[in-house]
Chain A
């Protein structure tokens, strides 16, 4: 599904910063993967490249058999719209839109009719137990609720891949557990390919594979099928 070969990325700021130093990585369809690493190690940079939100300098990124390089804005937008769902640490909901309107937005850009997308958005909100909040604005909701709205928005276009950048970063441990459980069920029941960026080992422990990244290079890759072996216990996503 995702194939990276020798990806390099340098930010040219005040002084050039070589952030990704030859990343090679394969993620198969239906995998539930986390990327872990210290702050500044390049996790977000990598995820933005995976989501075609940003471009890379050299190397090769193949997504579902298509080489993602120098895509036209239209193609890139199409991928972001249909193929990939994003979940951000800061939720990134639009403040002046209600929950249901935020969830509808990807379908608006697909040209789905008003009535149909409204119906679908309500369905997704219902699945996430958010129906009573449909007409609330983001600033009237808790962090966990906002993140679930963001997840509903990421899901509504029925993407194959879900990319989450520190989805629990702004949540308390109880809501973090809920959000991770939600992602897990999406992976198990709908076979979505999910990549979660985090620096919390408890969060990473919920995923099936943990990729460690250090100073822009891939460190060790752990298979993590036995979540119970976690030192944090069964329900413990520790902060």
Chain B
């Protein structure tokens, strides 16, 4: 088998001078590869988009909040309103060493934030600095609330993205500016651009963050706490701690420790588990459909080449009659199949990459890519390798048939 430039020219000639035939043959593979790569990229992008919803939220976390009791206990009727207090945080920290972060929050809806003649409604959240470990801020300007703010009762705030955009439509760093929230002026220390949809007490984009102590004073909340957020230390399964946590809080507030509604402990890991298996399912499907399409493409190539070989009986017979050995015919047909598969496959990859690039560009805001649709270089290389193998396999059966064509067939077939 001579595989020199000459042989390749012969093959390229054959392919390029029978354009529609080559096109039809290659299209199956083109489509298969396009689907595979586009699906892989699309699946990844979808995953990214879904993950966006949970972005910045600690995965191993739980929320504790008070609701009207559902069971009578200790002389109290059911349906009683009650609140958690700041001391509950210390109690949990002291009594449940498996917890990493224990941090309180108070929140208020429908506050008005004003800067100059611009105005926006917002939910105001009072938090401690370590709340950042539960719902991670994505700071575009400035910083988050820090312990000094707490200690010195500084009137500072962090603005959510939408509020910032409404109050400062011209953009620019707002740190140091004074904004009015309800009746008091606060100095802006940061802007939080995080946009996940997994939020506590309202979306981060439409929130203003204050130091919790300041908020408790300003809004006359005493030492009331609305929500206590918890994260577990690595390896700790929070769902197994639920009843212990409930017990500690119940004890202090005369609530039935079995009242799962009255003291709600919400585990985010349940949610993340669901999403995780969803992703796995999507992944599985992508590969199944993609490989299926690709295989169908290869079988299509094989089929069309089979028909082609039949159609080319005379041509192959002539070649045999004037000096081509069966091996030369074999290698010609297989090489044709490989070249076709690779060229068609490459175009498929390029086309898919171009489409994915467009998708990715469409999902970019403020220069930050929201979802990565593009496939990696190695995925493309893998697809290429798969293609070459498929090309050989697809060419085998047609080549075997071509090889069996005898020179007399050229004369007989008219």
Contact = CB atoms under 8 A, between A and B. Distances in A.
A97 interface: yes
Contacts of B406: 53-54
B132 to A, nearest CB: 71
Q: What band does the interface of chain A fall in when counting residues whose beta carbon is under 8 Å from B?
A: 20 to 34
Interface in A47-83: 48, 51, 53-54, 73-74, 77-78, 80-82
A77 B315 contact: no
A77 B320 contact: yes
Interface stretch (A22-30, A84-92, A120-128, A186-194): A84-92
A94 B407 contact: no
Interface string B220-261: 000000000000000000000000000000000000000000
Given A96-B17, A108-B10, A109-B328, A53 B322 contact: no
A109 B323 contact: yes
A39 interface: no
Contacts of A48: 408, 411
Given A77-B325, A108-B10, A96 B18 contact: yes
A97 B322 contact: no
A50 to B, nearest CB: 12
Contacts of A51: 321
Contacts of B324: 77, 109
B74 interface: no
A105 B317 CA distance: 13
Nearest to A81: B323
B325 A74 contact: yes
Contact of A110 (B9, B13, B323): B323
A164 to B, nearest CB: 12
Interface in A96-110: 96-97, 101, 105-106, 108-110
A86 B408 contact: no
Interface residues on B, range: 20 to 34
A155 to B, nearest CB: 12
Contacts of B317: 92
Q: Chain B at the A interface: mostly helix, strand, loop or mixed?
A: helix
B130 to A, nearest CB: 76
A157 interface: yes
Contact of A153 (B320, B322, B326, B410): B322
Contacts of B315: 94-95
B14 interface: yes
B325 A73 contact: yes
B188 interface: no
B93 interface: no
Contacts, number: 73
Contacts of A220: none
A108 B10 CA distance: 9
B292 to A, nearest CB: 35
A157 B321 contact: no
A44 B324 CA distance: 22
B414 interface: yes
B323 A157 contact: yes
B12 interface: no
A81 B324 CA distance: 8
A44 B408 CA distance: 10
A100 to B, nearest CB: 13
A86 to B, nearest CB: 6
A101 B414 CA distance: 22
Given A53-B406, A54-B406, A96-B17, A165 B411 contact: yes
A90 B414 contact: yes
Contacts of B17: 96-97
B314 A92 contact: yes
Interface in B243-288: none
Contact of B407 (A78, A80, A165): A80
Given A53-B321, A86-B321, A92-B411, 15 more contacts: A44-B411, A51-B321, A54-B406, A54-B407, A73-B326, A80-B321, A81-B322, A88-B410, A93-B318, A94-B318, A101-B13, A105-B322, A109-B319, A109-B324, A113-B6
8 closest Cβ pairs, A-B complex: A81-B323, A109-B323, A96-B17, A53-B407, A77-B325, A106-B322, A54-B408, A53-B408
8 contacts: A48-B408, A77-B325, A92-B314, A92-B318, A94-B319, A96-B17, A109-B322, A157-B323
Interface of B: 2, 6, 9-10, 13-14, 17-18, 314-315, 317-326, 328, 406-408, 410-411, 414
